[in-house]
């Protein structure tokens, strides 16, 4: 989808359109006070204090109409440059703009504002020459937004819109927006009863409904089998730890802003864990290790809690309670390359099974200047980053580098994907860590009988089950492959009186699968349509012909064609599709 921010002309057009929106709002709501109106990836928005007035769908239409009127009038957009003092005088009636001006540097900044007809707005520009150029726009939606994003401040009203140079581009864009919103996993999750959230449980804490739980269980079984084959040992550890545990690991000093506050129980002070590494370090430390035992791979489907800003939580994609498909691999320095390669191969293998094609590898490095976020040991960082680069180059996978995206304990290889709505997110991750084994005083005995410190590779193939499920729902638009579908087969008897018996027998014979039998007294067409709406992969239609010939007629999701086969043939088809993950 087009990114407005990356196109100079569209940037300007949308910025000017934000002013046009503000002008129209001012005409309709003379008491309105304006805060900021930036251009964003999807167009623009303006945050407005409307006093007691509330924006509705109807008011959006009215505002849009007023915008068209002003644009038709065709006033020029004129730039003015003034001193700070003058600016304070010009915008004295708007405390929000005064706040902006006051924060501007007295000496270095020329303060500019733009005027179009009866409306002026503080702004750096640039803008189009005249409002006449603003013909092809649309107001998209509105929401509440706290002043400066702080929930202790007043709630302002945010209106979103987008503007293009011609009607076709606008129409195309609106169509794409519509398709993206259809693909949004929050919408699919609701329609297919996969998850919900509830205020009483809290923000970012989804409840997985039975359909969602089936998907999650299948994902767990799938990755567990793969990991077992690769020599992983799985453990269960508690989803809390003491503050001391996280002080030892360094999370307390470097990751605390992402953690829930601590709680005291008797003499102990606990935190909900944001990561599982410290627990796994202790699992490793429980036994003595020789170099011959390494690599040791400790895996867990582990629940973590992280503080995510309330504006950032999103369906299953960004949650505050998540379950990682986590593992920590304890290796000798010589084994880093090999073990890392195996993780990358596993990622590629899994992506192949799920048909994931659009992703980017990102090498996430530390920001040398940020001593707060990153553990301060330049030599350790240089070793880890160089080693990781070396491994990636030898793997010959294309990647880009991003400074400031590393974990506090080491650099990472992240896999980035683009959700239907919103910016890119990390799915899989593989991280190199020389720090935590030191902090937990881990060791193994090398071939000369000396104590050595292992290196740790942190990795999560799905990332979290939460985010991966969100992504897969969007990739498939909810039409999951047979093996993952909550309901795999839906049997519809044409007439209950004559065909229900046979349909029930079929259901019993297919008891290895998740089968529903729709025996409601509804019209056949209605039931078939509903089967499609529920995105059930296979619908069986059982009528007299099937009963007489002992056959099965089926339709695959996405196809109008009905095929008739014997039970054995049908069974083969199912096995084949499950095997091929189709």
Which residues partner with 155 through β-bridges?
A: 146
SS3 471: helix
Are 455 and 436 within 8 A, CB to CB? Answer: no
**DSSP string of 82-135, one letter each residue:** E-HHHHHHHTTT-HHHHHHHHTS-TTTPPEEEEEETTEEEE------SBGGG--
Closer of 467 and 555 to Zn ion (Cβ): 467
Measured between its terminal Cα atoms, the distance across the chain in Å is: 27
Size of the site for Zn ion (CB under 5 A): 2
Residue 314 binds: one of Zn ion, ligand TSB, none (C-beta under 5 to 8 A by kind): none
Cα dihedral sign, 193-419-414-245: negative
SS3 537: coil
Point out the catalytic residue in the list 23, 116, 157, 324: 324
Which residue is associated with the tokens 């056949």? 524
Nearest to 55 by CA among 75, 89, 76, 29: 29
Q: Kindly state whether residue 275 participates in binding ligand TSB, applying the rule CB under 6 A.
A: yes
How far is residue 159's CA from residue 36's CA, in Å, rounded to a whole number? 11
Q: Kindly state whether residue 466 participates in binding ligand TSB, applying the rule CB under 6 A.
A: yes
Contacts of 85 (CB under 8 A, 6+ apart): none
H/E stretch holding 519: none
Q: Kindly state whether residue 197 participates in binding ligand TSB, applying the rule CB under 6 A.
A: no
Residue 324 binds: one of Zn ion, ligand TSB, none (C-beta under 5 to 8 A by kind): ligand TSB
Q: Kindly state whether residue 279 participates in binding ligand TSB, applying the rule CB under 6 A.
A: no
Q: Kindly state whether residue 279 participates in binding Zn ion, applying the rule CB under 5 A.
A: no
Closer of 136 and 318 to ligand TSB (Cβ): 318
- 518 as an active site residue: the answer is no
Closer of 186 and 458 to Zn ion (Cβ): 458
Q: Kindly state whether residue 322 participates in binding Zn ion, applying the rule CB under 5 A.
A: no
Q: Kindly state whether residue 326 participates in binding ligand TSB, applying the rule CB under 6 A.
A: yes
Closer of 158 and 254 to ligand TSB (Cβ): 254
Point out the catalytic residue in the list 458, 459, 534, 535: 458
Q: Take residue 379 and report the two structure tokens written for it.
A: 């030599």
Quote the least distance from Cβ 64 to ligand TSB, whole Å.
36
- Contact segment (CB under 6 A) with ligand TSB among 3-11, 171-179, 324-332, 346-354 equals 324-332
Point out the catalytic residue in the list 123, 277, 323, 430: 277
Are 136 and 163 within 8 A, CB to CB? Answer: yes
Interface of this chain with Zn ion, residues 429 to 468, rule: CB under 5 A: 458
Q: Kindly state whether residue 489 participates in binding ligand TSB, applying the rule CB under 6 A.
A: no
Point out the catalytic residue in the list 185, 306, 362, 387: 306
Q: Cis peptide before 295, with omega less than 30 degrees from 0?
A: yes
- 123 as an active site residue: the answer is no
- Contact segment (CB under 6 A) with ligand TSB among 183-191, 291-299, 314-322, 443-451 equals 314-322
- Neighbour-count burial of 492, counting CB atoms closer than 10 A to its CB (0-12 exposed, 13-18 middle, 19+ buried): buried
Backbone Cα Rg of the chain: 29
Contacts of 301 (CB under 8 A, 6+ apart): 220, 224, 234, 323, 324, 325, 326, 465
- 306 as an active site residue: the answer is yes
The pairing of beta strand 263-265 with beta strand 268-272: antiparallel
Quote the least distance from Cβ 331 to Zn ion, whole Å.
14
Q: Kindly state whether residue 319 participates in binding ligand TSB, applying the rule CB under 6 A.
A: yes
Contacts with ligand TSB, 55-94, as mask; x by CB under 6 A: ----------------------------------------
- 277 as an active site residue: the answer is yes
Closer of 254 and 458 to Zn ion (Cβ): 458
Q: Take residue 432 and report the two structure tokens written for it.
A: 């190199």
Sheet strand arrangement including 119-122 = 78-82, 111-116, 119-122
Quote the least distance from Cβ 429 to ligand TSB, whole Å.
4
Point out the catalytic residue in the list 19, 273, 280, 328: 328
Q: Kindly state whether residue 322 participates in binding ligand TSB, applying the rule CB under 6 A.
A: yes
Which residues partner with 111 through β-bridges?
A: 82
Residue 66 binds: one of ligand TSB, Zn ion, none (C-beta under 5 to 8 A by kind): none
Q: Say how far residue 114 (Cα) sits from the centre of its chain.
A: 38
How far is residue 444's CA from residue 453's CA, in Å, rounded to a whole number? 6
Are 21 and 46 within 8 A, CB to CB? Answer: yes
Quote the least distance from Cβ 47 to ligand TSB, whole Å.
26
How far is residue 301's CA from residue 323's CA, in Å, rounded to a whole number? 6
Closer of 17 and 415 to ligand TSB (Cβ): 415
- 2 as an active site residue: the answer is no
Residue 134 binds: one of ligand TSB, Zn ion, none (C-beta under 5 to 8 A by kind): none
Q: Cis peptide before 514, with omega less than 30 degrees from 0?
A: no
Residue 535 binds: one of ligand TSB, Zn ion, none (C-beta under 5 to 8 A by kind): none
- Contact segment (CB under 5 A) with Zn ion among 41-49, 153-161, 270-278, 396-404 equals 270-278
Which residue is associated with the tokens 């109807």? 58
Closer of 116 and 431 to ligand TSB (Cβ): 431
Q: Which of 87, 271, 277, 350 binds ligand TSB (CB under 6 A)?
A: 277
Q: Which of 94, 324, 485, 539 binds ligand TSB (CB under 6 A)?
A: 324
Point out the catalytic residue in the list 326, 414, 466, 518: 326
Contacts with ligand TSB, 222-251, as mask; x by CB under 6 A: ------------------------------
Q: Which of 71, 277, 331, 442 binds Zn ion (CB under 5 A)?
A: 277
- Neighbour-count burial of 577, counting CB atoms closer than 10 A to its CB (0-12 exposed, 13-18 middle, 19+ buried): middle
Contacts of 61 (CB under 8 A, 6+ apart): none
Contacts of 256 (CB under 8 A, 6+ apart): none
Q: Kindly state whether residue 364 participates in binding ligand TSB, applying the rule CB under 6 A.
A: no
Show which residues are catalytic: 277, 306, 324, 326, 328, 412, 458
Please report, as ranges, the residues that interact with ligand TSB according to CB under 6 A: 275, 277, 306, 308, 318-319, 322, 324, 326, 328, 426-427, 429, 458-460, 463-464, 466-467
Please report, as ranges, the residues that interact with Zn ion according to CB under 5 A: 277, 458
């Amino acid at each position: 989808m087009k990114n407005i921010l990356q196109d100079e002309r569209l940037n300007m057009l949308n910025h000017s359109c934000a002013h046009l929106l503000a002008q129209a709002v001012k005409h309709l709501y003379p008491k309105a006070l304006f805060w900021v109106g930036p251009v964003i990836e999807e167009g623009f928005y303006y945050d407005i204090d409307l006093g007691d007035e509330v924006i509705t769908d109807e008011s959006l239409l009215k505002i849009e109409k007023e915008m068209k009127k002003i644009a038709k009038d065709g006033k020029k957009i004129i730039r003015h440059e003034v001193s700070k003092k003058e600016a304070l005088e010009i915008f004295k009636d708007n405390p929000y703009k005064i706040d902006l001006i006051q924060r501007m540097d007295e000496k270095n900044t020329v303060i500019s504002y733009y005027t179009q007809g009866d409306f002026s707005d503080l702004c750096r520009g640039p803008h189009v020459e005249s409002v006449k150029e603003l013909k092809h726009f649309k107001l998209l939606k509105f929401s509440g937004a706290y002043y400066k994003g702080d929930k202790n401040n007043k709630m302002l009203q945010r209106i979103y819109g987008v503007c293009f140079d011609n009607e076709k581009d606008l129409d195309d864009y609106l169509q794409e927006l519509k398709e993206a919103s259809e693909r949004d996993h929050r919408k699919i999750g609701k329609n297919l009863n996969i998850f919900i959230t509830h205020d009483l449980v809290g923000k970012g804490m989804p409840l997985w409904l039975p359909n969602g739980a089936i998907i999650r269980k299948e994902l767990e079984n799938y990755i567990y089998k793969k990991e077992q084959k690769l020599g992983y040992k799985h453990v269960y550890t508690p989803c809390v730890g003491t503050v001391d545990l996280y002080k030892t690991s360094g999370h307390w000093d470097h990751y605390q802003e992402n953690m829930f506050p601590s709680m005291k129980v008797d003499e102990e002070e606990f935190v909900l864990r944001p990561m599982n590494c410290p627990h796994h370090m202790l699992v490793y430390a429980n036994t003595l290790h020789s170099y011959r035992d390494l690599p040791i791979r400790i895996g867990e489907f582990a629940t973590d809690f992280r503080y995510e800003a309330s504006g950032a939580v999103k369906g299953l994609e960004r949650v505050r309670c998540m379950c990682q498909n986590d593992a920590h691999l304890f290796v000798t320095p010589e084994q880093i390359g090999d073990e890392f390669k195996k993780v990358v191969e596993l990622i590629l293998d899994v992506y192949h099974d799920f048909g994931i094609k659009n992703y980017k590898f990102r090498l996430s490095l530390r920001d040398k200047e940020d001593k707060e976020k990153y553990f301060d040991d330049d030599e350790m960082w240089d070793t880890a980053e160089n080693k990781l680069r070396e491994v990636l180059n030898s793997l010959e996978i294309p990647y880009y580098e991003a400074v400031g995206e590393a974990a506090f304990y080491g650099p990472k290889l992240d896999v980035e994907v683009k959700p239907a709505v919103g910016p890119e997110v990390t799915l899989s991750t593989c991280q190199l860590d020389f720090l935590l084994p030191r902090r937990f005083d881990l060791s193994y005995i090398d071939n000369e009988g000396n104590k050595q410190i292992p290196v740790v590779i942190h990795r999560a193939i799905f990332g979290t089950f939460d985010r991966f499920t969100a992504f897969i729902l969007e990739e498939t638009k909810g039409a999951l492959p047979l093996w993952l579908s909550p309901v795999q087969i839906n049997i519809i008897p044409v007439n209950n009186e004559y065909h229900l018996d046979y349909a029930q027998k079929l259901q019993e014979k297919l008891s290895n699968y998740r089968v529903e039998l729709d025996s409601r007294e509804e019209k056949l067409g209605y039931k078939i349509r509903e089967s499609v709406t529920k995105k059930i992969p296979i619908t069986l239609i059982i009528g007299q012909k099937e009963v007489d010939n002992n056959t099965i007629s089926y339709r695959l999701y996405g196809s109008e064609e009905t095929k008739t086969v014997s039970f054995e043939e049908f069974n083969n088809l199912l096995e084949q599709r499950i095997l091929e993950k189709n």
